[in-house]
Amino acid sequence: MAAFATAEACDSNAELISNGDLRALYPNFKIYGQRRCFSGPIVTLKVFEDNVLVRFHLETKGEGRVLVIDGGGSTRCALVGGNLGQLAQNNGWAGIVVNGCVRDVDEINDCDVGVRALGSNPLKSSKKGNGETNVPVHVGGTLIRDGEWLYADSDGILISKTELSI
C-alpha cells in the first residue's frame, strides 16, 4: 500500500467531512502491530467480552479488509490476542480495530497487521459465540457501517463512506 496520511486526507476532503461522508474516530486508540498505516473496506462485528466471532472472521480470507470490532468499550478482558493477530496476518487482513482490549501485545506487535485498541488486558474473553456480524456499530464516536472504508495511520483513524483516492 502506498503511504497514506490521514491529515492530508482531511485537508483535501473538507466537503466530505462537512457532509459526514468522512469521519475521524475519537483519538483514544492505541497502536499495535507492525503496520502503522493501513486501510481497507470494513467488516463490522458487535460482541461483548466474547471473541468466538472474532476468531471466526479472522479465520477467513481478509482480502485486505479491516475488521472493526465493537466490544462495547469493555476493558475487562481482551478480544484479540497474539494467535488472532497471527491469523489476521496469515489470512490477509489489513487491520483490526477493537473498541475494547487486546492481549499478548508483544506477539501482536510482531504481526504484519495494523491493530488499534483501547488498551491491553491479560484476561481472555468468554467463548459463548454471542454477537452480531455485518451490523452498524458505534465506535470512537461515530456510526460505522459494513462496507465503508477505514484509513489509519499514526495521526488517527478515518471512516469514509467510499474509497478515497490516495
Annotated binding residues for Mg(2+), as ranges? Answer: 104
**How far apart are alpha carbons 105 and 108 in whole angstroms?**
5
Binding residue numbers for substrate: 81-84, 103
Beta strands in the chain (DSSP E): 22-24, 30-32, 38-46, 66-70, 78-80, 95-102, 114-120, 132-133, 137-139, 142-144, 149-153, 156-160
**How far apart are alpha carbons 133 and 91 in whole angstroms?**
19
Give the three cell numbers for residue 107: 506477539
Cβ neighbours of 55 (radius 10 Å): 16
Binding residue numbers: 81-84, 103-104
